[in-house]
Structure 1
Amino acid sequence: MRRIDYDTEQHQDYARGRALTERQQQTWISAFAAVLPEGRPLVGLDVGAGTGRFTPALARAFGPVTGVEPSVRMREIAQAQSRHPDVRYLASSAEDMPVPSASADYALMFLSWHHVQDKPLAVRELARVLRPAGRLLLRANFSDHHPRPWWLEHFPRGFAADAALFQPLHEVIEMFTSDGWRVAGFGTVTEPSVGTRADMLQRLRLRTLSFFAQLSPDELEAGFRRLEEAVAANPDAPAPVFAEPLLTLERC
């Protein structure tokens, strides 16, 4: 996987390209609530918070949240977009978080696990910062449980190139369970549609998905040409939805 430097690419368009509608956000918050303890408030970590698309919503639903994000530009956007009193952002990564040991009830990693450089170190660091029985909500793609979004079929090597970004599910589980974690649950969440196929195309043109950084200029050009032709045939059709994996791990 080509590593993406969010301080030099994608940060300008990320918030627009990856924005969630209110219905989409509430769908995820409900899914998280279903696997978290019922007591409130809960202290949370949003690890790989990016531009903070979840951090304020987590604070509203569960309690104070610290967004952990290594990119200066992404943190600046997150801080500018939300002044929630129970949200703060720290310059750090999953491998080295400047928060006290056993200080959080849960951590969310939403499509950030594949960016982690030293995954075994991150497994240990997540165990350090969570309280006993604390939970990690790992919304990640897995090469053998891939959601296969509809637009990928139009790009050369589309499904294969995207799946190559991610580990197989059993490998991720083994990494955590061999370090003392247990699997608390695994399922899928179907996020409501972003709108029409034309709406989705507008977002995809911003190229804020890791997948696009893995393709050559020729592959990108060919893929977008095919995608635009397909969307032009029925632009007002609803953008298809798909089931997205959510793995819940518990610190023992």
Structure 2
Amino acid sequence: MRRIDYDTEQYHDYVRGRALSEQQMAAWIGAFEGLLPGRRPLAGLDVGSGTGRYTPALAQAFGPVTGVEPSVRMREIAQQQSRHPDVRYLAGSAEDLPVPSGSADYALMFLSWHHVEDKPRAVEELARVLNPGGRLLLRENFSDHIPPSGWWLEYFPRGYEVDAAMFQPLHEVIATFTTAGWRVAGFGRVIEPSSGTRGEMLERLRLGVHSTLAHFTPDQLETGFRRLEQAVAADPDAPAPADPATLLTLERGS
């Protein structure tokens, strides 16, 4: 899998290309709320926080949040975007979290696990920084849960196959954690509401900020966008389908 360097690509269009509606954000915060303790505040980590799509909303809902992001450019944008007093962003990665041991009640990794290079090391680090019983909300796609994402993938040659190749099967991810003393606290799907119209989605896809697009060949991209444009042109104002997204919840051992 080609490694994406977010300091040289995607960062400049990421906010616009991956923007969330109020309904989408509400769906995710509601899902997280059902998986976290009811007391407030909770100290949170947003690991692989990118441009800070979720960090301020997490702080608003649960309490102070530290966004950890290796990309300098993505962190700069996140800091410019957020003025929430309970949010901070630090340089770091899942394998090297720049926070004290036992300092977080939960961590969120939203479509960032597949970017982690040393996964066993990340599991150790996440266990170190979470309190006993702390939870990891792992929003990730899994290669054995097809389609893993995106209605638009059907228009690209080998679209679902290329996308699935980016991700591990669910059992493999679970084994990485459970062999290190974690337990599975839940697994299910969150229905992410429509992102807008098909026409609007096409314009965002053209920005190239979906990681899957970086793994298509130039010919596949050309063919896929041509097919997608033809399909969208028939009814550009039709709503894009809602996305059934997989969410794995893991709990740190005591």
How high is the TM-score relative to the length of structure 2? 0.98
- Paired with 1:148 and 1:248, the residues of 2 have a C-alpha distance of 19
- Paired with 2:69 and 2:103, the residues of 1 have a C-alpha distance of 18
Structure 1 window deviating more from structure 2 (237-246 vs 72-81): it is 237-246
Structure 1 position 148, deviation (Å): 4.2
Q: Deviations over 1:97-118 (max 9, x none)?
A: 1100011000000000000011
Structure 1 position 194, deviation (Å): 1.1
- Matched residue type, 1:107: A
Equivalent position of 2:225 in the other structure: 224
Equivalent position of 1:4 in the other structure: 4
- Paired with 2:42 and 2:7, the residues of 1 have a C-alpha distance of 31
- Paired with 1:148 and 1:24, the residues of 2 have a C-alpha distance of 15
Structure 1 position 151, deviation (Å): 0.6
Superposition map of 1:1-252 within 5 A = 1-146=1-146, 147-252=148-253
Identity %: 75
Structure 1 position 46, deviation (Å): 0.1
Q: Deviations over 1:132-163 (max 9, x none)?
A: 00000000000011334211011111000000
Question: Contact 2:133–2:252 at 8 Å: present in 1 too?
Answer: yes
State the secondary structure of the residue aligned to 2:222: helix
- Paired with 1:230 and 1:36, the residues of 2 have a C-alpha distance of 41
- Paired with 2:118 and 2:43, the residues of 1 have a C-alpha distance of 25
Question: Contact 2:55–2:67 at 8 Å: present in 1 too?
Answer: yes
- Paired with 1:148 and 1:3, the residues of 2 have a C-alpha distance of 19
How high is the TM-score relative to the length of structure 1? 0.99
State the secondary structure of the residue aligned to 1:246: strand
- Structure 2 segments unaligned to the other structure (5+ residues): none
Question: Contact 2:141–2:149 at 8 Å: present in 1 too?
Answer: no
- Runs of 4 or more, structure 1, over 2 Å off, are 146-149
